[in-house]
Chain A
Amino acid sequence: MIWLIVLPLVWASLAFILGPGRGKWLAIGGLALQTVLAFDLATKIGAGGTAVGHLVGGWGAPLGIDLAADGLSAAMLLLTQCIALPLAVYASAYYKRDDAAGSYFWPLAGFLIAGLNALFLSADLFNIYVTLELLGLAAVGLVAAGGGAQQVAAALRYLFATLVGSALYLLGVALIYGAYGTVSISVLTPLVTSEAPRLVWIAGGLMLIGLMLKTALWPFHFWLPPAHGGAPAPVSALLSALVVKASFYLILRLWIGPFAPLIAAAEWLAWLPAALGTLAIFWGSWQAIRAERLKMLIAYSTVAQLGYLFLIFPLLAGAGAIQAGVMQVFAHGLAKAAIFAAAGVLIKATGQDTIAGLAGAVNRVPLTLFTFGLAGMTLMGLPPSSGFLAKWQIIEAALAQGHWPLAVIVLAGGLLAAVYVFRVLRQAFLLAPRNEEATAVSPLLEWPAFVLAAASILLGLRGVELMQLVGIVA
């Protein structure tokens, strides 16, 4: 379990020592190994039916660092490695040997993955803060690496958001420590009750707002489109598919863990994230429908798709809501990684980032357009795809608990997604002016994107194992 954190740190450091632009084979090898480890962990937890723990260096809490993994974290780890591996192959072909934008991609990506894995495995609130900072700084570095003035501006905005988010979170952790004298989640969980002092409520609120800022939930989404839309394609893919999911995972983890008694005491609280999520779906989709640049369209689609994740909070009282949320995390993660990667190919092939410039792209890079279509199916929630299963589960849970407005929102959101996805596909099918020279595109760019998109579809045909795994919550 610890190797999932150590391995990326090792290959990231080696890549840094090797110098700018090097270390891609180390990274791909390391990620392949991590993928095997994550699979192994998931099967172990799935077969055993219980969570597993690990004491780093043999020291337990409160002195040492505890690591813990249940079905939920194992699923997130699996998703992280499964997305990062194809993207690493993609990035190895994306950056030219002496491309300045790619100088520090491999070390930063390594630290990013290490931060993600550590976050999913951490069992105490302070360690989580450390992983959040590692994650945030690596992500900002990756965005800034693009080098242009716009990218740097976007990176600074992102830096501001992520630092404020972490600071709010840390403040909450400090208040919790002051109230209970511990930051271990397992120790904390039985201590917090519905009669907790007001300070604990404030702490919970601060942490929630900090994490929502990091997840870019509407109205905290302002930093996301420029950062995700402006970064190089492999970076956009990593950020949109994985990084924003980490803070969502934390919200969910705390919501059903230590803070559950507080929420049970004030049930209306659950409608706050759901209301913001609804606004995110409509606002994000609307902006995506109006966008003129391809990557901005995809970035706003992320804003919208994150909204679905927050619809599950009022449903957590009943069965199936966590499963629905995780399915949406998987669906959006795989599809968005694929679609940003495909966008990178389209931009290379057509030489421009506008949607109007895509005319006739279907004849030049058919596989990439097919990838875009498959990933688009997942985003629209059309069957067969994991996005469809996610929507099905949300709607079913909503109907089972009598919250039918949530079902209507999900269905309407799917139609809006269809509008922006087909805006792109439609343009690509138009007859192209024939005079342009077609730029050849490496198959190492096209195929990893296709693999990710295909995975998002195939998961829609068999989600049983994943749902069983997620059912094992510590």
Chain B
Amino acid sequence: MTANEWLPLAVLASSLLPGLVIFALPEGWIALRTALNLFGAIAKLALVAVLLAGVSAGEEYGVRFAVLPGLDLAFKADALGLLFVSLSAVLWLFTTLYAIGYLEGAPHRSRFFGFFSLCVTATIGIAMAANLFTFFIFYELLTLSTFPLVVHRGTDKAMRGGTIYLAYTLIGGTALLTGIVWLHHLLGHTEFAHAGIAAALGPEYAGQLQIIFLLLIAGVGVKAAIVPLHGWLPQAMVAPAPVSALLHAVAVVKAGAFGIVRIVYEVYGIEFAQSLEVLLPLAVFAAVTIVWGSFRALFQDDLKKRLAFSTVSQVSYIVLGVALFGPLGTIGGLVHLVHQGIMKITLFFCAGNYAETLGIHKVSEMNGAGRRMPLTTLAFSIGALGMMGAPLTAGAISKAWLSDGAAAAGMDWAIWVLWTSSLLNAAYFLPILWRAWFRSAPAAWPEERIAARGRRETAWLLLLPPLVTAAMTLAAAMLAESPGSPLEWAKLIAEREYRQGVTLP
């Protein structure tokens, strides 16, 4: 086996193997468990760095195994896959650090970190799948490995959330499977390829291909929380904060959005999808989701629920970018895949900090939180401003490219959608910031668990991750034009996905 074959497998193994060992560890072996977690996360980052360097130099990484005659389990680490792999690997490290701090002293940590690692493994598998069959295997594995995390607390409320999550995702998975087998039956394979594979079928298959597109997108759309398939996401908020962070920024919703990218670009091909007239309906659904999610967020007093509806809205930016026919929209959508991840994970880390430190769960309890926890609130403010698309944040870059993409595609209404959403974002984020910074604190916090000591407003492991991801939010914008930034990488992908060479501004 050559290095180009085992490297993708090593990236998978760097979270799978520690995860399996962690399951077997007794609860009390904290040091070894922590060491394994961090070793896996850092090893993964190192491997991903090697892959990134290789792919930008034109190397190709891939490996395949026959599962059944004519059916392969296949992986490839291409530019698009690596975008998602790098996002997951980086945020996994910080979420792990955060979770170690968050769960200090909590029961069942071996189980938690075991499934946590499985969940990341599934995400990496989704990113590097080279055909729909492999994609589906890891997509369902993700459902199964996140269920124990969602119901981790074991309360009735957690169970209800978990059951709703399962009902949505398993039915979605069935739709996806139907589409995949159908396509496999028509084509004889489901390999991802630049410019798609579905165009190989004659025009007499157009009707069937449209139905398959609907099935596939509905299947991944459940995880991407496209309205009306988004009902599970606010319910899954019962999970512990690190899980919500992972669900919203890295694993579940991103897996859905990433699936849409793969299906549109590498199964159907953007040009063929346009000729099938399936992109406009997709764009309309995305637009409805963007506005509806923001609108619903306005009325949530529960902080995590407000963030959840915000996720519903923001993930569909990615979908909208994909559905806009043209390289500018593609770049906007892809770059938002990364930007939304770092911004949203910051917000969830901060929400977890408020809850753990002061017992704040509601927006109405946020008065004066900025003075008690200035650093956390600073990170929260950067994340929130990014979501609104304020200048100098990653969100501004995404929105600029998406708007340009909409204009280039001749879909001016999409620009209005983006602006409406920005206004709504401001309407539900600014009051939080106002309360936190400018209102005076109550006499007593709802439940103060971690006392402030000098400049340390809460535990270091809780404070560090949001500060780093907030810094990344700023860096992604200020260094957007420098090599290695998410934006430059998205441009690289767009160049490879459009059949005719595109000229980029």
Report A's interface with B, CB cutoff 8 A.
360, 362-363, 366, 370, 373, 377, 382-384, 388-389, 392-393, 395-396, 399-400, 407, 411, 414-415, 418, 422, 425-426, 429-431, 460-464, 467-468
Nearest to B170 among chain A residues (CB) is A418
Q: Which of B67, B136, B155, B185 contacts A461 (CB 8 A)?
A: B67
Are the CB atoms of B68 and A467 closer together than 8 Å?
Answer: yes
A165, chain B: closest CB distance, angstroms = 34
CA distance A444 to B442 in the complex (A): 58
Q: Which residues of B contact A467 (CB under 8 A)?
A: 68-69
CA distance A377 to B171 in the complex (A): 15
CA distance A330 to B147 in the complex (A): 27
Q: Which residues of A contact B141 (CB under 8 A)?
A: 383-384
Beyond A370-B23, A383-B136, A426-B151, whether A462 also contacts B181 by CB under 8 A is: no
For the A-B complex, the count of residue pairs with Cβ-Cβ distances under 8 Å equals 79
Q: Which of B71, B162, B174 contacts A414 (CB 8 A)?
A: B174
Beyond A389-B68, A426-B159, whether A415 also contacts B151 by CB under 8 A is: no
Are the CB atoms of B111 and A366 closer together than 8 Å?
Answer: yes
Taking A411-B174, A418-B170 as given, write out 14 further A-B residue pairs in contact, using a Cβ cutoff of 8 Å, ordered by the A residue number: A366-B111, A382-B143, A383-B136, A383-B140, A384-B137, A388-B137, A392-B68, A395-B181, A396-B184, A399-B185, A400-B185, A426-B159, A429-B159, A463-B67
B252, chain A: closest CB distance, angstroms = 16
A219, chain B: closest CB distance, angstroms = 28
Q: Among the interface residues B68, B170, B177, which one has the most CB atoms of the partner chain A within 10 A?
A: B68
Are the CB atoms of B68 and A393 closer together than 8 Å?
Answer: yes
Among all A-B residue pairs, the 9 with the closest Cβ atoms = A383-B137, A431-B154, A399-B185, A395-B181, A464-B66, A382-B140, A384-B137, A429-B151, A463-B68
B5, chain A: closest CB distance, angstroms = 17
Q: Which residues of A contact B181 (CB under 8 A)?
A: 392, 395-396, 399, 407
A417, chain B: closest CB distance, angstroms = 10
Q: Which residues of A contact B108 (CB under 8 A)?
A: 363
Nearest to B158 among chain A residues (CB) is A429
Q: Which of A366, A382, A468 contacts B69 (CB 8 A)?
A: A468
B223, chain A: closest CB distance, angstroms = 15
Nearest to B150 among chain A residues (CB) is A429
Are the CB atoms of A389 and B67 closer together than 8 Å?
Answer: yes
CA distance A395 to B147 in the complex (A): 27
B122, chain A: closest CB distance, angstroms = 11
Q: Which residues of B contact A461 (CB under 8 A)?
A: 65, 67, 73
Are the CB atoms of B144 and A429 closer together than 8 Å?
Answer: no
Are the CB atoms of A415 and B174 closer together than 8 Å?
Answer: yes
A285, chain B: closest CB distance, angstroms = 14
The contact string, 1 if C-beta is below 8 Å from chain A, for chain B 66-85, is 11110101000000000000
Q: Which residues of B contact A400 (CB under 8 A)?
A: 185
Q: Which residues of B contact A425 (CB under 8 A)?
A: 147
Are the CB atoms of B67 and A431 closer together than 8 Å?
Answer: no
Beyond A383-B136, A384-B141, A418-B166, whether A430 also contacts B182 by CB under 8 A is: no
Q: Which residues of A contact B374 (CB under 8 A)?
A: none
Q: Which of B154, B163, B177 contacts A422 (CB 8 A)?
A: B163
Cβ of B359 within 8 Å of any chain A Cβ, yes or no, is no
Are the CB atoms of B154 and A429 closer together than 8 Å?
Answer: yes
Are the CB atoms of B166 and A422 closer together than 8 Å?
Answer: yes
CA distance A360 to B66 in the complex (A): 40
Nearest to A377 among chain B residues (CB) is B144
Beyond A415-B170, A464-B69, whether A399 also contacts B182 by CB under 8 A is: yes
- B residues 107-155 touching A (CB-CB < 8 Å): 107-108, 111, 136-137, 140-141, 143-144, 147-148, 151, 153-155
Nearest to B152 among chain A residues (CB) is A429
CA distance A50 to B23 in the complex (A): 45
CA distance A370 to B148 in the complex (A): 11
CA distance A429 to B162 in the complex (A): 11
Are the CB atoms of A415 and B171 closer together than 8 Å?
Answer: yes
Cβ of B178 within 8 Å of any chain A Cβ, yes or no, is yes
Are the CB atoms of B174 and A426 closer together than 8 Å?
Answer: no
Q: Which residues of A contact B144 (CB under 8 A)?
A: 373, 377, 382
**Cβ contacts A to B, 16 pairs, < 8 Å:** A362-B111, A377-B144, A382-B143, A382-B173, A383-B140, A383-B141, A384-B141, A388-B137, A393-B68, A395-B181, A399-B185, A426-B151, A429-B159, A461-B67, A462-B66, A463-B68
Interface size of B by CB at 8 A reads 38
Q: Which residues of B contact A463 (CB under 8 A)?
A: 67-68
Q: Which residues of B contact A468 (CB under 8 A)?
A: 69
Nearest to A460 among chain B residues (CB) is B67
CA distance A418 to B108 in the complex (A): 25
B187, chain A: closest CB distance, angstroms = 12
CA distance A395 to B159 in the complex (A): 33
B331, chain A: closest CB distance, angstroms = 33
- B residues 56-114 touching A (CB-CB < 8 Å): 65-69, 71, 73, 107-108, 111
CA distance A5 to B143 in the complex (A): 45
Q: Which of A362, A366, A464 contacts B68 (CB 8 A)?
A: A464
Q: Which residues of B contact A414 (CB under 8 A)?
A: 174
Nearest to A384 among chain B residues (CB) is B137
CA distance A400 to B159 in the complex (A): 41
A327, chain B: closest CB distance, angstroms = 8
CA distance A377 to B141 in the complex (A): 10
Q: Which of B67, B153, B182, B185 contacts A462 (CB 8 A)?
A: B67
Q: Which residues of B contact A429 (CB under 8 A)?
A: 148, 151, 154, 159, 162
CA distance A392 to B184 in the complex (A): 10
CA distance A388 to B73 in the complex (A): 13
B64, chain A: closest CB distance, angstroms = 12
Beyond A393-B68, A462-B65, whether A411 also contacts B154 by CB under 8 A is: no
Nearest to A362 among chain B residues (CB) is B111
Q: Which residues of B contact A431 (CB under 8 A)?
A: 153-155
CA distance A363 to B67 in the complex (A): 35
Are the CB atoms of A430 and B154 closer together than 8 Å?
Answer: yes
B88, chain A: closest CB distance, angstroms = 20
Q: Which residues of B contact A362 (CB under 8 A)?
A: 111
Beyond A396-B185, A461-B67, whether A411 also contacts B163 by CB under 8 A is: no
A225, chain B: closest CB distance, angstroms = 26
A430, chain B: closest CB distance, angstroms = 6
- B residues 475-501 touching A (CB-CB < 8 Å): none
Nearest to B184 among chain A residues (CB) is A396
Q: Which residues of A contact B65 (CB under 8 A)?
A: 461-462
Q: Which residues of A contact B159 (CB under 8 A)?
A: 426, 429-430
B125, chain A: closest CB distance, angstroms = 10
- B residues 263-313 touching A (CB-CB < 8 Å): none
Are the CB atoms of B174 and A464 closer together than 8 Å?
Answer: no
Q: Which residues of B contact A392 (CB under 8 A)?
A: 68, 71, 181
A277, chain B: closest CB distance, angstroms = 19
Are the CB atoms of B170 and A411 closer together than 8 Å?
Answer: no
A421, chain B: closest CB distance, angstroms = 10
B442, chain A: closest CB distance, angstroms = 31
CA distance A415 to B173 in the complex (A): 10
Q: Which residues of B contact A395 (CB under 8 A)?
A: 181
A389, chain B: closest CB distance, angstroms = 6
- B residues 161-190 touching A (CB-CB < 8 Å): 162-163, 166, 170-171, 173-174, 177-178, 181-182, 184-185
Q: Among the interface residues B66, B147, B177, which one has the most CB atoms of the partner chain A within 10 A?
A: B177
Q: Which residues of B contact A430 (CB under 8 A)?
A: 154, 156, 159
B175, chain A: closest CB distance, angstroms = 9
A152, chain B: closest CB distance, angstroms = 39
CA distance A393 to B69 in the complex (A): 11
Nearest to B68 among chain A residues (CB) is A463
Q: Which residues of A contact B166 (CB under 8 A)?
A: 418, 422
Nearest to A431 among chain B residues (CB) is B154
Q: Which residues of A contact B107 (CB under 8 A)?
A: 363
Q: Which residues of A contact B143 (CB under 8 A)?
A: 382
B301, chain A: closest CB distance, angstroms = 27
- B residues 21-38 touching A (CB-CB < 8 Å): 23
CA distance A377 to B173 in the complex (A): 13
CA distance A259 to B418 in the complex (A): 68
